[in-house]
């Protein structure tokens, strides 16, 4: 990976993350970013629980979606989701730190497929998310 692509990914992330209001509400933190890659985490809080006392699927989905959004916006061009799906494998408990790792799996033209895996603190797979992205021709204004 070239230094220029890594630097562009970092600049895009630093520009876009303060605008991600939902991430702020959920205390989602960026751990790492690179071209077509993002690693984010959050701690499951009491206000993120469903009626069974485990992490609400929407909270887990939001973490995966945020990692996907960041990973696909590392090229310097505005990129939007055109579809996604998630598979939940195990519940998360209050206090669990979840880590989402998203990677570009493949692209063709302006379309890309990204896979996000969400792990708990014991490195157990909690959920698997697949996102389809469309890169626009509009540059991200990094100034």
Q: Residue 44: which pLDDT band, with cuts at 50, 70 and 90?
A: very high
| Closest to 140 (Cα-Cα) out of 14, 12, 37, 23 | 12
pLDDT band, residue 3 (cuts 50/70/90): confident
What pLDDT was estimated at residue 1?
Answer: 59
State how far the Cα of 103 lies from the Cα of 72, in Å rounded to an integer.
Answer: 9
**Which domain CATH number covers 27?**
3.10.129.10
| Structure confidence by residue, pLDDT tens digits, 67-115 | 999 999 999 999 999 999 999 999 999 999 999 999 999 999 999 999 9
Q: Count structural domains, the chain.
A: 1
What is the reported pTM?
0.96
Mean pLDDT, the chain, integer: 96
């Amino acid at each position: 990976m070239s230094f220029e692509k890594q630097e562009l990914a970092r600049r895009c992330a630093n520009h876009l993350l303060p605008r991600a209001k939902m991430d702020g509400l959920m205390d989602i933190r960026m751990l790492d970013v690179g071209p077509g890659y993002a690693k984010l985490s959050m701690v499951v809080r009491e206000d993120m629980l469903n009626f069974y006392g485990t992490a609400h699927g929407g909270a887990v989905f939001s973490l995966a979606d945020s990692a996907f959004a960041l990973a696909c916006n590392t090229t310097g061009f505005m990129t939007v989701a055109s579809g996604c799906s998630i598979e939940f494998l195990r519940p998360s408990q209050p206090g669990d730190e979840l880590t989402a790792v998203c990677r570009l799996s493949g692209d063709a033209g302006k379309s890309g497929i990204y896979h996000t895996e969400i792990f708990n603190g014991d490195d157990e797979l909690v959920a698997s998310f697949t996102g389809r992205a469309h890169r626009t021709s509009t540059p991200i204004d990094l100034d």
